[in-house]
Amino acid sequence: MPSSPTLDAPRGFARRKPLIALVVLALLAAGGWGLWHRSAATPSDRSGPAGGGRGGMGRHGGPDRPMPVIFASAEKADVEVFLNGLGTVTAAATVAVHPRVDGQLMRLHFREGDTVKAGALLAEIDPRPYQVLLTQAQGQLARDKALLANAHQDLARYKTLVAQDSATRQQLDTQEALVRQYEGTVKADQGSIASARLQLSYSRVTAPVSGRLGLRQVDVGNVVHGSDANGLVTITQIQPINVVFTLPEKEIAPVLQQIAKGARLPAYALDRDQKATLATGKLATVDNQIDTTTGTLKMKAEFANTDGTLFPNQFVNVRLRTATLKDAIVVPNAAIQRGAIGAFVYVVGDDKKVRIRKVETGTVEGERTVISKGLAAGEHVVTDGTDKLREGAKVAPLSREAAEKAANAPAAHSKDAGKRRREARE
């Protein structure tokens, strides 16, 4: 019996299902190949100014779209030239205070860590033995003065007797010699008194220099001697104070030139992080020879240190100002690029295209670099957005002030909108 059409249709469709599936797979494969081909071609299309290819595209896609960059203008400015070195703070003077005479320590007139002036009383040693010596010397002087006075009277008598021929010339000469002997004895006695007074004064120990006191080395009641190794206390003079630092031998020529002219170069002591300036002073002197081991020359700078910021043996960084460059061309440090040709910058032309310009850089002061050759004042250089730039790339230049203003605008708009929504809810 013939087959029913309603039953044969499903069977025919089932026989055609593999063919339909193959067609669908072929279409999908063709579409995928086309998509891959277009995506593979995209990098070459984008490589115009950024990648060096044809038909350039900007960072955000699209043929010949300018790349957004931030620029700054080369400016003329006075730039100070500094040399940097590592230094150690050293006291202008360090004195160990020793007693000048032996004796028992009776009193201390200082506290550890005090700042004292030269001549200030620090300690007292038992003065009684030296007072006794002074009294003895004074008594001996009084006795010898009496003998001298008597000898002078005898000399006057002998002169009268010799004039009357009642005494010999030899007796007169002997008396004159005796007078001179007593005069010498009196002078010796006067020296003994001066020595005794000096020894007595040494029983009062005073500060030989002004400075800060350290820790005391002996307690009251001990017998002290001038030969004691540690002494009584140590004084370090910190006002003024010195910093000894080193500079490489290749950098010392401008320093020596300024010293030969009689200039005292300004010096700045900075902390370890080179962020805070601790003190300002002047270069005092330089050493007389270069250290052949390190290839450096020692220098000493002097600081008033009135506030006591610098402390002996403290580590500091030293900046020595050697010159001031007048009307130097400066650009932000971010504009300086490095490559096979050396230092260069991207200069933005009037046609909104960038050109690579080789430059010679000089000293760096903070966030600015001096351009000694290759750039003129007023030219625009790219400071941000240089990662994909190439010679001749089109750019959309924007100053940093304008970029910051544009960046802050959305935040301000969002803040105003939020304020309006709160006011509406209230």
pLDDT tens by residue, 33-80:
344 344 433 333 333 333 333 334 444 444 568 888 899 999 998 888
Last residue of a domain, one of 271, 291, 324: 324
pLDDT tier at 413, thresholds 50, 70, 90: low
Same domain, 123 and 212: yes
Contact 244, 287 (CB under 8 A): no
Same domain, 211 and 266: no
Domain presence at residue 299: yes
pLDDT tier at 415, thresholds 50, 70, 90: low
Same domain, 166 and 211: yes
The residue whose two tokens read 């669908």 is 24
pLDDT tier at 165, thresholds 50, 70, 90: confident
pLDDT tier at 24, thresholds 50, 70, 90: very low
Task: Evaluate if residue 285 carries a pLDDT over 60.
Answer: yes
Average pLDDT, the chain: 83
CATH number of the CATH domain containing 268: 2.40.30.170
Last residue of a domain, one of 268, 289, 324: 324
Compute the Cα dihedral for 171, 177, 178, 183 and give only its sign.
Answer: positive
pLDDT tens by residue, 108-134:
999 999 999 999 999 999 999 999 999
Same domain, 129 and 207: yes
Q: Would residue 136 be called left, alpha or beta, if left means φ above 0 and alpha means ψ between -120 and 50 degrees? A: alpha
Task: Evaluate if residue 1 carries a pLDDT over 50.
Answer: no
Same domain, 263 and 317: yes
Tokens of 17: 């299902």
Query: How far apart (Å, rounded) are the C-alpha atoms in residues 223 and 79?
Result: 63
Compute the Cα dihedral for 379, 383, 388, 394 and give only its sign.
Answer: negative
Average pLDDT over residues 66-95: 91
Domain presence at residue 230: no
Same domain, 205 and 148: yes
pLDDT at 401: 75
Same domain, 203 and 112: yes
pLDDT at 45: 39
Last residue of a domain, one of 287, 307, 324: 324
pLDDT tens by residue, 135-149:
999 999 999 999 999
pLDDT at 41: 39
Contact 268, 302 (CB under 8 A): no
Query: How far apart (Å, rounded) are the C-alpha atoms in residues 304 and 308?
Result: 9
Residues 6+ apart with CB under 8 A from 46: 53, 56, 57, 61
Query: How far apart (Å, rounded) are the C-alpha atoms in residues 86 and 64?
Result: 52
Same domain, 215 and 250: no
Contact 36, 353 (CB under 8 A): no
Q: Which domain holds residue 296?
A: 84-91+236-324
The percentage of residues in the chain with a pLDDT greater than 90, rounded to a whole number, is: 59
**Structural domain count of the chain:** 2
Domain presence at residue 392: no
Domain presence at residue 313: yes
pLDDT at 8: 42
Same domain, 204 and 254: no
pLDDT at 426: 54
CATH number of the CATH domain containing 110: 1.10.287.470
Same domain, 194 and 301: no
Helix (H) or strand (E) segment spanning residue 176: helix 169-202
Same domain, 132 and 218: yes
